[in-house]
Amino acid sequence: MTKMTNYKITIQYEGTRYQGWQRQDSTGNTIQGKLETILAKMTGLDFVQVDGSGRTDAGVHALGQVANFKIGTELSAAEVMDYINQYLPEDIGVVAIQEVPERFHSRLNAKGKTYRYRIWNTSLPCVFARRYVYALPEPLDLDAMRAAASYLTGKHDFKAFTSNKKSKKSTVRTIDSILIDRDGSEVVITYSGDGFLYHMVRILTGTLIEVGLGQRSPASVEALLEKDATRDLAGALVPAKGLCLVEVRY
């Protein structure tokens, strides 16, 4: 019997036409589902489970999603990666693979993540990057947004910044940094932290945008971190297409 090996892979994908990362019974059009189907075909098994570092939503992209799976095969790691890429659609790709200890788990062992949100901040059309940016023509006050971001960094209860009302798990997270930069017509917000709740980055971005538009003061953001703060007090949920998972740290 071939020894089972645990493989860690790094995956890139353009999330535009997928229903997110997580496998779903109602559709095979997910990133996890595509990978599991290919690995089952490669091994001849009925099912091979692929565990991701987290669940990106429908329409969200990834430069550095990480996952792991355990299979028994005579193929080398490089051959496994080549096989997967041969059958993946062109908007998903495995860019790195390595053998890891049996106990490694891409989600449970993750120490931190970095996400990037891109805003096309001009009235001019964005023809070639339109799938990856949120078009917002109104001018943004980046200094005000940075002032608001300073309240959000550190360890806080972010329950006002998640759409998941039913979860009983802790909503306390640590944000190490929020960087807000302008590159020509584009405003880029980069978030790094120990983990992020469901819709958290998109709601944080919606809140910072409201500050940038002068719809709320930077100082008002502090109240959203208090224990009685609720989701309806925070900003709008911005579109998924502007969001990209850049890196997972271990």
Active centre residues (catalytic): 57
Q: Which DSSP letter does residue 56 get? A: P
Cα angle, residue 174 at apex, residues 171 and 180 outer, rounded to 5°: 115
Instruction: Round to the nearest angstrom and report the end-to-end CA distance of the chain.
Output: 31
**Contact present, 198 and 21 (Cβ < 8 Å):** no
Count the Cβ atoms, other than its own, within 10 Å of residue 231.
16
Q: What SS3 class is residue 231?
A: helix
Please choose, from the candidates 117, 116, 104, 110, the residue with its C-alpha nearest in 3D space to the C-alpha of residue 195.
Answer: 110
Residue 54's alpha-carbon distances to 17, 32, 66, 213, in angstroms, are 19, 11, 8, 31
**Contact present, 29 and 109 (Cβ < 8 Å):** no
Q: Which DSSP letter does residue 221 get? A: G
d(CA 203, CA 218): 15
Please choose, from the candidates 180, 139, 141, 178, the residue with its C-alpha nearest in 3D space to the C-alpha of residue 161.
Answer: 178
